[in-house]
Amino acid sequence: MLSQGRQIERRWLKWMLPFALLCWVPLWAADVMPVPAIFVLDGAVDEWMGRPPVTRTADFTVWFAQSAKGLVVAGSKRNPNFRASDQPTNSGRLELWISLVDSVTLPDLAYDNQSCAGKPECLQWLKEQRAYREKIAALFTRMWRITPFLTEEVVATSVLQTLSDLQSKALPFPISTDLPEAKFRTRAPGEISFEILVPWRLLPPADRLDLEKIRARLDFVDRGKAVTASDPLATKGPLPVLSVSPPVTTRITTCQQPLLMRQDFHEDLPAFYFLNDSMEIADVFAFKNPIPADRFATLPSPDYLSPVAVYRRFFAEQLDRSEYLCGPWMSYRKGAVVKHFPFEFDGSSKLKRLADGTWLIREGLTISGPYHMGLLLFGMRIFALTPSLEMHAALQIGAGTDIVLDYGVEMSDDWRRVTEFRRTFDGDKWTSETFCLTGVTYRSCGKNADSPPPGKGALTP
C-alpha cells in the first residue's frame, strides 16, 4: 500500500503531466511549420507570438513557416535603422539566405593535375575550371536584400553575370525576375515588424522530392555597412539547417517518378530540379562531362567545360480516365496505384488496347548514334502492359548501318503482325522477317531471304 506521501506525489504528477507536455512540445516542434491559421501577409506579427522563433536575440526575432504559396519569414526588429532609400546596400536591410541542398556533387574533372603536369595551358584550364565549379555551387543559393523600399536577389544574379558566353550556354539556369513579397509595419516607436513571402518557384534547385529540411538564415545588416564585390558569395559559413514539418512534397509527373538522370551507359547521376507553384515537376537536370570533340585528345581544348548541365523532360500520356503512362523512365498510374518499370522510352509512342485489357505501347522507329565509327542504329520496340500490371518488352528489333544499307518496318492494322525489312550490302537485295503476336509476346513466324522492299506505309528511317 502506498504511503500518503507517495499518493500525493502520484496525484501531483498526474495533474502536472499535461502541463509538462505542453511545455515540451516547442522543443520537438519543427523550425518550419505551416503558417498560423489566421496568417495574413500584412507585416504584422501578432499571429506568430504563440510559437517558438527560429532566431531570438534582445532586439531581433525571426520565424520561418510554409504556406501553399511558398516559404514565409516573419519577424520584428528594434532600432532597425531603415531609411527611405532605393539603395538597399546603403540602408539598413534584411538579407534572406536560402539553399535546399547540403552540397553539390559534380563529376570529377575530365583532366587532372597529373595529366596537366608541365603543360601551362592545361594548368591554366584547370584553374579556370575550378573557379567555374565554385560558381556552379554558388548557383544553388539565393540571397535577397530586402528593405521596405526595394528587394533584389544578389547571389545567383551576380554569379550569372560573371559567366562567359560559353559557360552561360552550358548552365541554362532560369533565374526569375519575380521577387519575394515583403510587408513592413511600425510595431512601436523604434521597432518594425515584417513578413516575407518567397514563392516556391523562386527557390534555388533541390536535390530531393521530399524537403524535410532546408538551409536558411535571415540577417539584419545595419545602415551604412557597405557591400564589397566578394560579399554576395560570403554566407558567413554554412547556413543553418531548419527542419520542415510536414515536409514540402513535390512529385515528378502524375506517376510520381523517381528523381533520376542517366548518362550514356545507364549510370545514375545526382539529379536536381526547380520547384514550381503546382509542385508537379517536369524538368530535371544533372551535371556531366561532355564527350570531347576530339575523343583521343590528351589535353582539353580551350572551349571544353567540365561539367555542363544536361536537362531531361518528364512526361505523362493519358491512356484512359485516371490512367496514365509516364516517361522517360517508364511508369504507370491508375487511380492511386503507381508502378515503375526498368525501361526508358521517348514518348513518341502509339498505343493499342487488346481485348483482354493489355496495352501495347509502340515506340516510333528510332535512329540512334553515331555510336561507333559514325555508325547508326535503327530499331523499334513494343512493350506489353498486362491487366496485372506486368510490363515487358514484347518485341525488340533493329540493325546497325554496319549490317544494313536500308531498313523498314511494316505493321498490320491490328498490330498482330510486324515485318522487319533489311537491305543488305548484296546490291538491291532485301530480306524480311515477320513476327506474330502470341499471347503478349511477338515470336518469329516467317522469313523471306528474297523479299520485296517495304511498302509505302512502312516505317522507314
> How far is residue 263's CA from residue 271's CA, in Å, rounded to a whole number?
11
Predicted confidence band of residue 349 (pLDDT cuts 50, 70, 90): confident
Highest mean pLDDT among 68-77, 252-261, 295-304 belongs to 68-77
Grid coordinates in use for 127? 584553374
Least reliable range by pLDDT among 80-89, 376-385, 444-453: 80-89
pLDDT attached to residue 268: 83
Higher pLDDT, 222 or 90: 222
User: pLDDT at residue 20 above 50?
Assistant: no
When computed from its CA atoms, the radius of gyration of the chain, rounded to whole angstroms, is: 30
User: pLDDT at residue 357 above 60?
Assistant: yes
CB atoms within 10 A of CB 173: 17
Q: By C-alpha distance, which of 99, 94, 74, 96 is closest to 196?
A: 74
pLDDT attached to residue 229: 38
Higher pLDDT, 178 or 115: 178
User: pLDDT at residue 246 above 80?
Assistant: yes
Count helices and strands (H / E) in the chain. Answer: 5, 31
pLDDT attached to residue 265: 52
pLDDT attached to residue 24: 34
Predicted confidence band of residue 82 (pLDDT cuts 50, 70, 90): confident
pLDDT attached to residue 27: 38
pLDDT attached to residue 16: 39
Q: By C-alpha distance, which of 354, 329, 348 is closest to 340?
A: 329
What domains, with CATH codes, occur in the chain?
26-104+140-249 (2.60.40), 250-344 (no CATH), 346-461 (no CATH)
> How far is residue 217's CA from residue 404's CA, in Å, rounded to a whole number?
62
* Distances 400 to 57, 284, 423 between C-alpha atoms, Å: 70, 31, 12
Predicted confidence band of residue 12 (pLDDT cuts 50, 70, 90): very low
pLDDT digits (tens, 9 = 90+) for 269-285: 899 999 999 999 999 99
User: pLDDT at residue 34 above 80?
Assistant: yes
- Which residue has 516575407 as its cell numbers? 196
Average pLDDT over residues 195-212: 97
Is 196 in a helix, a strand, or coil? strand
Average pLDDT over residues 431-443: 96
Q: What single letter denotes the amino acid at residue 389?
A: L
User: pLDDT at residue 374 above 60?
Assistant: no
User: pLDDT at residue 286 above 60?
Assistant: yes
Average pLDDT over residues 396-420: 89
User: pLDDT at residue 373 above 50?
Assistant: yes
Contacting residues for 195 by C-beta, under 8 A, at least 6 apart: 41, 42, 43, 44, 45, 72, 73, 74, 182, 183
User: pLDDT at residue 38 above 70?
Assistant: yes
- To the nearest 10°, the Cα dihedral for 367, 368, 369, 375? -50
How much of the chain, in percent, has pLDDT values that exceed 90? Answer: 62
pLDDT attached to residue 85: 58
Mean pLDDT for the chain overall? 86
pLDDT digits (tens, 9 = 90+) for 126-179: 999 999 999 999 999 999 999 988 899 999 999 999 999 999 999 988 778 899
Predicted confidence band of residue 10 (pLDDT cuts 50, 70, 90): very low
Cα angle 288, 294, 299 (rounded to 5 degrees) comes to 80
Average pLDDT over residues 105-122: 89
User: pLDDT at residue 44 above 70?
Assistant: yes
> How far is residue 191's CA from residue 381's CA, in Å, rounded to a whole number?
68
Average pLDDT over residues 385-407: 88
Least reliable range by pLDDT among 9-13, 132-136, 392-396, 452-456: 9-13
Least reliable range by pLDDT among 85-99, 111-125, 396-410, 437-451: 85-99
Average pLDDT over residues 40-54: 95
Average pLDDT over residues 169-194: 90
Average pLDDT over residues 94-106: 95
User: pLDDT at residue 438 above 80?
Assistant: yes
User: pLDDT at residue 390 above 50?
Assistant: yes
pLDDT attached to residue 309: 95
Average pLDDT over residues 441-460: 93
Least reliable range by pLDDT among 2-11, 197-206, 396-405, 442-451: 2-11
pLDDT attached to residue 225: 58
Which letter, b or e, does each residue of 327-350 get, where b requires 16 or more Cβ atoms within 10 Å of its Cβ?
bbbbbbbeeeebebbebebeeebe
- Which residue has 525489312 as its cell numbers? 421
